[in-house]
Copies of this chain bind each other. A is one copy, B any other.
Amino acid sequence: MYKATIAITLRPSILDPEGETVHHALTNLGHDAIEQVRMGKQAELWIEADDEAEARRIATDACEHLLANPVTENFDIHLERASASAK
């Protein structure tokens, strides 16, 4: 069993109104030191696979076909062995 932690982020060229709203709110809370905010998604997948290469292939396929928008988003997959799902 592998756990894939996937960060899905907007490409740098894509505007991020959610991030700008959060940045504005943090500035209003007094956080002048925060210069920029970008918001994204995280997906955690528990995958039954024989090896890390197969787990990565499954996670990549899930990103390309469902989780990420190939036009506007990038994704980054981090894999680790897991004893069981979080259920």
Contact A42 to B41, CB < 8 A, known contacts A33-B58, A34-B58, A67-B22: yes
B66 and A22 contact, CB distance less than 8 A: yes
Question: What 1/0 flags go to A11-31 for Cβ under 8 Å of B?
Answer: 010000001001001100101
Q: Give the number of times this chain occurs in the complex, counting copies.
A: 2
A73 to chain B, nearest CB (A): 11
A38 near B86: Cβ-Cβ < 8 Å: yes
**Given A22-B67, A67-B22, residue A62 in contact with residue B34 (CB < 8 A):** yes
- Show the binding face of A for B, using Cβ within 8 Å: 1, 5, 7-9, 12, 19, 22, 25-26, 29, 31, 33-49, 58, 61-62, 65-67, 85-87
